[in-house]
Every structure is written in C-alpha cells, then in structure tokens.
Chain A
Amino acid sequence: MSENNVIQITETLDKPKATTDGYEIVHSKSQLFYPEYERKGELKHQTHYCPGCGHGVAHKLIAEALEDLGVQDQTILVSPVGCSVFAYYYFDVGNVQVAHGRAPAAATALKRACPDKIVLAYQGDGDLAAIGTAEIVHAANRGEKISVFFVNNAIYGMTGGQMAPTTLVGQKSTTSPWGRRPVNEGFPLHMAEMLATLEAPVYIERVALSDNKNIMKARRAVRKALELQRDGAGFTFVEILSPCPTIWGKDPVEARKWIAEKMIPNFPLNVFRDRKVEVPNNNIPPHKTVAELIEGEKRAVGDAELPLRHHHFRELGIKIAGFGGQGVLLLGQLLAEMGMREGLEVSWLPSYGPEMRSGSAHCHVCLSKDRIGSPLVSRPQVLVAFNEISLRKFAAEVAPGGTIIYGREALPDDLSIPQAQVVCIPASEIADKLGSAKVANVVMMGALLEETECLSPATAMQVLEKKVKNPVMLELDRKALAAGRIYIDHTVAIGAVTQADGFAQ
C-alpha cells in the first residue's frame, strides 16, 4: 500500500502541466484544497504560514488522504486557536472553528450529530496540551470516533514564541528566557504516551516532519487514522513533530535538523497504540417515539382525576419536617399527588441540601382551589413534625387555629404551643410493630388525614398503589395508613390529646 502511494506521487511529478502564465506545475495541489484561498483575503495564492513551517506539509498530508478516501463531502474539520486557526482558508470541506483548546469537545458533539461523517480536529501544542488538556483526555477516554491531528512544534507560534507545554528542557522562549527550567516550568508533556494509557483509543502514533522518510511515515499515519475513522473503529490520534523556523530562529533546513536532533530524542517516534478495541455495548435503552414516551407517562399517571371532592378549605399550607431518611419529602409528594388527583392546585417545595448524613429535611405542600402564589409555606395551617427538633423549630410558625401532628407519644414538658391543636402519635413505634420503620411516614399520613380531613384516604391508597410496586410494601402501607387513622380516633376517644384548647377551629 505504501509503495503504491509513493508511486502515485512520482506519477504526478512525471507529468508537469504548462500554465498560461509560463509557470510549470510539477506537482498539482490536492483537489481538497480550494484552488484559490478566497477566505484568506487579498493574497489568494499562498498560505499564511511562514516559509518552512510544518503546517503546510501537515495540511497537505491530510488533504491528500481525505481526497484519496473520497470523503471530501463527508468531512468536517474542526480548527483550533493558534497558527492553524485559519485552516478553513484552505480545506474545501465543512469547517467549524472553535474556542482555544476545545476542539475535541466540539468534535465530540459534531461526530455524535453526524455519526457516519468524518470529523477531524487539528490542534497545536498550546491548544491541545495546555488549555485543552482535559478535553483531549476525555474525548480519547470516551473513545469518540474522531481523528485528532496534534501538531507539536514545542512553542507558541501565533502569539510570538512563548513557552509551550512541549517546550524542551533548556529551550528558550519569550516566557522561558533562561531556557525551560524544570524546577520552575516542569518537564515537557508527552501527550501520545499519556493517551496511550487509556483503554478506548484504537490508534496513537507520533511522527515527525524532519525529513522525507519521516514525512512519508507521517503520511501513512494520517491515512491510517482517517481510514480507521471511516471504518468506525474508534478514537485515533497522530502527534506530528513539526518545524517552526520563524520562532525557533532557524532556517527551514536547520529547523528540520533540529527536530531530528533535539525533538525526536525527547519525543520518540512510535506507534503507541494500534489495536481493535472491543467496547461493550450493553444496557441499551429501549427506543421509543416521543408519542410513545408521552403515552407511557400517561399510563404511569394512571386513571383520570377523581370526581371533584368537596374540600373544606380554600387554601391549605402544610409543612412537614423531620430527619433525612424518615420519608419526610416523600410524604409531602404523596400529599401533593393526592391533591392533584382530587382536582386541586398543588405545589411541593423541598428543603434541599448537600447529600450528607443526619441532615434535617422539610418540605412545603400547598393545596388550593385557586392558582397558587407562593409555594413557600411561612405560616402553615398544618405542621407534621416527625421529631422534637422539628417541632421546636417550626411550632411557632403554625397559624393560629392550626394543627400539629407530632410523631411522638407526648409533647416535651417544657413546650407550650397555645395557638395550635397538637396531636401526638408515636409513629415510629407503630410502624415498627407493623414490621417496618420505613412506613412511619404513612402512619403520619393516616393521622394527618384523619385529623384534618384535608384529603381522602381512598385517594391516598390510589396514589400508593401507583407508586409502590412491591406488594409486600404496599400491604404494609395500607396497614400503616389505617393504623395512623385508628390511633387518632382512639386517642381522641380517650381524651389523650395534649392540648384540648386548640380544638376550636
């Protein structure tokens, strides 16, 4: 294959074409380049790259490979920030120019939007190995099926010769004027080796534009990367050691020599990865149309709303509080769901915090016949307090004539809540006796429904049946709901309510 490629070029050289202005074209430019660089402005016939710059060669290798693969119409080139920011002047393919360092991120999304197209990112060393280190590592690690061409010339070119992450130890730049000192600037970054530690990439090679032999190797590497992408193989990466005569302060010939003598010993040429990678493709989500998705949601919601039920309130604000893990937030959600099914406007607003142990949790539930203004219940008519801390914290907020459902057998001796009626129920103990402390919140719900009659227990069961898939748990919930209600009936009957004063509503 490589020999054929060499022959092709020789053939081109053998057939010089005469042009009208007397010049002879000894080697025609790839059809993949624009014939004239209109986007560049006035000087349409030459690139903006300096004499002896490696970008021209790298461009040529890529363009010829794309042309030979016949994918010009299928190609999207992502150009970076740096000297090759203007790659779109030259490549007659779809072009996307992106922010500094982010080409692999943009290419990721382009490839996923156009999975059967050829997407390549072309980046320099500042772009890829400094500001964009995270993007290249993660695109490679995800195994994005893109090709990344990394032009490493050990210096920042476009900004005028500052130190690059790949600048050699001792190499002078405008920002390492004494030569790169590892004690201050660290060592050169070896991107090909770094990426080769990842599982997903299928092909990683470092090549150099130091002499014709190495350029031909680079040519093969570029082709191989693009062919692998065409075949859907996976992430491909070619690092190209490239001359920058202008900034290095060398003539083009010396610059090439410098690659051979200085860069290659630091950045050894090698194929770091060339293997097929089997990526497991399991846990595939079922495919649905949007209409089917909405249908599924409808089924999950279940039957239409219940016939309108009479509610004795215009608006009811409920606050529920306890420890995280007691089912505080869930109880609020169940009440909101029930209210919705009974034709009310509802809102549920949680306290939310970092996910950590032993936090307190509370939520606000509004049930209303009208559009709900504030979902924040600052003066609850009903407080459901699972523990003493919550009771002490929120009891004073309860509106005059309001109700408190307290999840303990009795109020603390020192606490007086004159404005509200307090109902005590040892919910955890009742839940434990039923067989699971988990249903304490449903015991509390039973007490709440029995005491306030704000929503129907039948609706509660309808919602629980929808939400609780495990039949054993559902049976426990049914018992818990009943137990909460019975306890309230019983307690009221024997006059054990702590503060009889609060009864008047």
Chain B
Amino acid sequence: MRQLCKGNVAVIKGAVLAGCRAYYGYPITPASEVAEAAALYFPEVGGTFVQAESETASINMVYGAASAGVRVMTASSGPGLSLMQEGISYLAGAELPCVIVDVMRGGPGLGNIAPEQSDYFAMIKGGGHGNYRNLVVAPASVQEMADLTILAFELADKYRNPAIVLTDGFVGQMMEPLDLEYREILAPEKPWAVKGTAETRKNMISSIFLEPDDLEEHQRLMEAKYIRAQQAETRWEEYLTDDADLLVVGYGIVSRVLRSAVDEARKQGIKVGLFRPISLWPFPSKALLATALRSEKVLVVELSNGQMVEDVRLALEGKRPVEFYGRVGGNVPAVEELLAKIEEQMPAAV
C-alpha cells in the first residue's frame, strides 16, 4: 500500500511496526508531528504516550522504559536534544537501547525552525559527557523515515545502545508516498531488564562504576561493541560513482539536491557521482575511501559550516583533495546552486 505521508508521521508508523509501544516526548517545531502521531497511534495498539514536562523528563522516561526492556522512543529538535544529552549519556553508560529522533533545525541557541544539519557533531561525536557513541542513521526520504526508524530499533537492541535517527526539518515536514506492509517484527529477549519479576530481581540498571578498574573494564566492553558496530553496520548509497571524476558527498536532504545536481551536471558531460552516507555513525569510511579513490576530488555539501566534512577528510587520509560547501541558517541550496559548485570544481570538458 502506498500512502502519501509526512516524514515525521512515517517515523511513528515505522515505530509501531517495529514493536515500539512507548513514546515520551515534548513538542518542538519541526518535530512535533512525531509526538502527535505517537499520541494518535500508540494508545490504539496498547502502547503508552506521555507528553512530558520537558525534554529532560522525556529522556529520563525513556531511560525508565528502556530499563524495563520495552522498545521506547522520543523525538525532538536541536534545543530539545541539547537538553537530552545528559540522559543520552546515562542511557549509553547503562547500555539501554532506545531510539531518539532529531529533526534538525537552525541553531545555535533558539536559532530558527528551518532545516540545518548542524547537530552532526552533537549526535555523532557525542554531545553528552563520557566515552560513548550513538548509533546514527540519516534518512533522506519519507520511506526511509519509517524504514530507518525500524532499523534504529534493531540496532539499539543489538548493541544495547541509544540509536539516533538524524534528519532535518525538510525531510520531517515533506510528504511522499510511503509503502507500508504489515510484518511481524519481534524484539529480542532482554534478560537484563528490570521488570519486577522473580527472574529479573537481581538485575540492576546503572551507569556507576566507582572503582577506576571497574569503569575501565566497562568502557572496554563498550568499545568492543562499538568496534563490532563499525565492522557490521556501515550503510551508504552510491549514484553514478563508477566513472565519476568528481565525487560529491552529502546526507539527508542535501543528498536529494545533490542527486538532482548530478543529473544536471551529467547532461553537460561532467562526470560526477554521489556518495550518500546512510549510517553517520559508524561512518562508512572504508567504502567512501574506495569510491573516492576512483575519483579525482571530493566535494562535501552540508547544511552546516563543516561538520561531516571532518569525517570525510579522516576517511580519505589526505589521498584526495576535499572541498566543502555549506549553507546555514535554514537556507537549503537549490539544484542550480550546487550545479554551479560542481562546475566550479570540474569545468565541463569541451
């Protein structure tokens, strides 16, 4: 079945299919429709929806529900995510799985409600305290808002770690056809959870390790799972990269504009291809390097002043020149604008 659906609503449709039955959130533009859809659908399927008093409370409610072993989520945008960072650190430290959606808007501070991709550092590099990682996926379409939310739940449970769906105001607000078929998705058993039963009575959810050796051991175990995730969970999409002289890199809404710009540039004979990271952490560094080595140079485009570009440069180890083009403040470049940037890099062969 194809239905015309808003990105933010598709998140909840995916979550319902994924077996998520608990939503704790606080409204914020441009993410509010996620909470609204959860308020509508979750109670119908026997789930819980609570509008919390703040994002701080939301994320700690997520912590509580995750402690009990249920699939749980919240969603917000920049300022709300800033408030949640302490809680995300606790969730990671206590190894609690959950899904957090960040529908990015302009910052810093109150900024504005137009799309930006300026939470990349906060979500990928860890905006909370301590040594931890978030598992981060970046949808670029309404269909992916549902599909990657489902994936996020699976990753969160697999690695007992918070998973972030990092998107932006445009992908959250836009409508596209969504193909949604019922399928049974079973959450794994969680023998570690605290459920108020005889079997789980000895269980404890905590992020405290007073002894340095104990905390180091805990962190080593966390590191080990992050290494496993880096090996198994990188995801990306390539478009016309086989013969590309110029490789353009972008995620989320930017990848959509880049795709159109690539088509336009190809019409002019410019050999350009698109690399779109789908997982932002782990970052698809190896795949990007392999693809970039087939090109002469790389152009990274973001709705930021240059955040993901750092990971691109790390991945390429200086083996290819990396140029950057960013728009900020809620401005999203038009196809013509990015085409001009591509032409700047690669004057058309005459």
Contact = CB atoms under 8 A, between A and B. Distances in A.
A138 B207 CA distance: 25
Interface string A110-154: 101110011100000000000000110110001000000000000
Interface stretch (A194-202, A217-225, A333-341, A387-395): A333-341
Interface stretch (B216-224, B256-264, B282-290, B317-325): B256-264
Interface in A360-407: 372-376, 378-379
A452 interface: no
A118 B57 contact: no
A130 B275 CA distance: 49
Nearest to B335: A374
Interface in B43-95: 43-46, 48, 50, 52-54, 56-58, 60-65, 67-70, 72, 86-87, 90, 94
A353 interface: yes
Contact of A348 (B113, B176, B262): B176
Contact of A293 (B45, B198, B263): B45
B195 interface: yes
A376 B253 CA distance: 9
B195 A117 contact: yes
B331 to A, nearest CB: 11
Given A297-B1, A349-B170, A97 B48 contact: no
B174 interface: yes
B194 A96 contact: yes
Nearest to B94: A97
Nearest to B332: A376
B277 interface: no
Interface in A21-51: 39, 41
Nearest to A333: B175
Given A110-B65, A336-B175, A98 B201 contact: no
B170 A73 contact: no
Given A73-B201, A74-B197, A98-B63, A376 B177 contact: no
Interface string A87-117: 0100011111111001001111110111001
A305 to B, nearest CB: 7
Interface stretch (A5-13, A239-247, A283-291, A436-444): A283-291
Given A108-B50, A290-B16, A336-B4, A113 B176 contact: no
A110 B176 contact: no
A293 B37 CA distance: 13
B196 A114 contact: yes
Given A290-B16, A300-B3, 9 more contacts: A94-B194, A94-B204, A113-B64, A117-B195, A117-B196, A287-B45, A293-B16, A294-B181, A349-B174
11 contacts: A76-B194, A92-B202, A97-B207, A98-B60, A98-B90, A109-B50, A112-B22, A119-B196, A293-B41, A345-B177, A376-B170
Interface of B: 1-4, 16-17, 22, 24, 29-30, 41, 43-46, 48, 50, 52-54, 56-58, 60-65, 67-70, 72, 86-87, 90, 94, 113, 169-170, 173-177, 180-182, 194-198, 200-208, 210-211, 253, 256-263, 332, 334-337
Interface of A: 39, 41, 72-76, 78, 85, 88, 92-99, 102, 105-110, 112-114, 117-119, 134-135, 137-138, 142, 285-291, 293-295, 297-298, 300-301, 305, 333, 336-337, 340, 345-350, 352-354, 372-376, 378-379
Which 5 A-B pairs have CB atoms at the shortest separation, nearest pair first?
A117-B196, A373-B260, A109-B64, A378-B334, A106-B64
